[in-house]
Amino acid sequence: MIFRQLFDSTSSTYSYLLASRRGGEALIIDPVLERVDRYLKLINELDLHLVKAVDTHIHADHVTGLGALRDKTQCITVMGEMAKVDVVSMRVAEGDTLTIEGLSLDVLYTPGHTDDSYSYLMGDRVFTGDTLLIRGTGRTDFQNGSSRAQYDSIFNRLLKLPDETMVYPAHDYKGDTVSTIGEERRYNPRLQVRSVDEYIELMANLKLPNPKMMDVAVPANMHVGLHQEDLAKQGLALSARDAINSLGRPDILLVDLREAGERTKHGTISGALHAPYPGISESLQPGGMLREVAAATGRRVVFFCAFGERSAMAVAAAKNAGLANTAHIEGGIDAWKKVGGPVAMG
């Protein structure tokens, strides 16, 4: 496995680059905007293909690299369903599994530092964001933070993991790089409390100044979505309503770009072909499945995904591959459902 802990010294943020092998798919957790070129260089040197970029929560102390990485690599941006960001490519919730080739991360909803804080468990290690830090915990005094929720997330979720589980946080200000669940239970000064009330009291008396970047970072991090209106202007987008009206038309081929798990959980549009986004470039090349189906049937390929990002990138990829007659459903199946589009489950 390739596992790299990368540090941004300005915000003391740790980002994590994961892949199962050289030459394979990679995922990055909590990338920092100013470090994006460095990540891309490393990804290139290790011959990796970045497919997912994940934020554990909306950060207040640095601007996320999610949007820039998506624009430069066409990767899938991922956040939890509670994150109040305009658009990400994929949203995950408690109990979901986030996968790339050869790796799988369990999604744990661990609110408290913010109400959109998630941790990601990958076998013997857990990425705790700002929920659990090394000998510390993330502050709970803004972004809908809650010391009570954080106590529950830490004591009833994270500390229930095996003692030897390695803890990889989103920040460290003292130079520590990794800890374990057992070590934190015993030596984290914030966790030496006898009750939730004692924890709430402790957190209420920290009196921390606001992060320097907060007024810039939070609004920026809430607007990470791809600008889908450009495609609409070029006539390459269908609104969800237009898409509903075109259901069953013989000249249109609907293509669902989401993963199997998303289709099972959120339903799909009946009659749609399933072609997961990570394989789309290949499928659009001459000889590729979508290319051949489009040619053989003469139908216009209409991509859709969860929120319209993967489908927008697929339209661009199709154009680059010389397949001009495509479009996407703006806002994805989320928008489709919101205007009453029929969804097939199972």
Provide the binding-site residues for Fe ion, judged by CB under 5 A.
130
| Rounded distance between C-alpha atoms, residue 299 and residue 171, angstroms | 50
Q: Which is nearer to Fe ion, 130 or 172 (CB)?
A: 130
Question: Cβ of residue 333: shortest distance to Fe ion, in angstroms?
Answer: 30
Q: Which is nearer to Fe ion, 214 or 244 (CB)?
A: 214
Residue whose C-alpha is closest to residue 112's, from 203, 215, 221, 207: 203
Q: Which is nearer to Fe ion, 54 or 240 (CB)?
A: 54
Q: Which is nearer to Fe ion, 33 or 40 (CB)?
A: 33
Question: Cβ of residue 70: shortest distance to Fe ion, in angstroms?
Answer: 21
| Rounded distance between C-alpha atoms, residue 256 and residue 167, angstroms | 36
Q: Which is nearer to Fe ion, 115 or 130 (CB)?
A: 130
**Helices of type H across the chain:** 36-45, 66-73, 147-156, 181-187, 196-204, 214-222, 229-233, 240-245, 260-266, 280-284, 289-297, 309-320, 332-338
Q: How many other CB atoms sit within 10 Å of the CB of residue 244?
A: 16
| Rounded distance between C-alpha atoms, residue 23 and residue 342, angstroms | 40
Q: Which is nearer to Fe ion, 62 or 157 (CB)?
A: 62
Question: Cβ of residue 11: shortest distance to Fe ion, in angstroms?
Answer: 10
Backbone angles phi, psi at 290, to 5 degrees: -65, -40
Question: Cβ of residue 204: shortest distance to Fe ion, in angstroms?
Answer: 18
Secondary structure class of 121 (helix, strand, coil):
strand
**Helices of type H across 234-330:** 240-245, 260-266, 280-284, 289-297, 309-320
Question: Cβ of residue 45: shortest distance to Fe ion, in angstroms?
Answer: 29
Question: Cβ of residue 113: shortest distance to Fe ion, in angstroms?
Answer: 6
> Is residue 87 a contact partner of residue 54, using CB atoms and an 8 Å limit?
no
Give ∠ CA 183-118-339 in degrees, rounded to 5. 170
**Strands 103-109 vs 97-100: parallel, antiparallel or unpaired:** antiparallel
Q: Which is nearer to Fe ion, 130 or 330 (CB)?
A: 130
Query: Terminus-to-terminus CA distance in the chain, angstroms?
Result: 34
Sheet of 237-238: strand order equals 237-238, 326-329, 300-304, 252-256, 273-274
In the complex, residue closest to Fe ion by CB? 130
Question: Cβ of residue 51: shortest distance to Fe ion, in angstroms?
Answer: 25
DSSP letter string, 129-147: ETTEETTEE---SSTT--H
Q: Which is nearer to Fe ion, 116 or 309 (CB)?
A: 116
Question: Cβ of residue 9: shortest distance to Fe ion, in angstroms?
Answer: 17
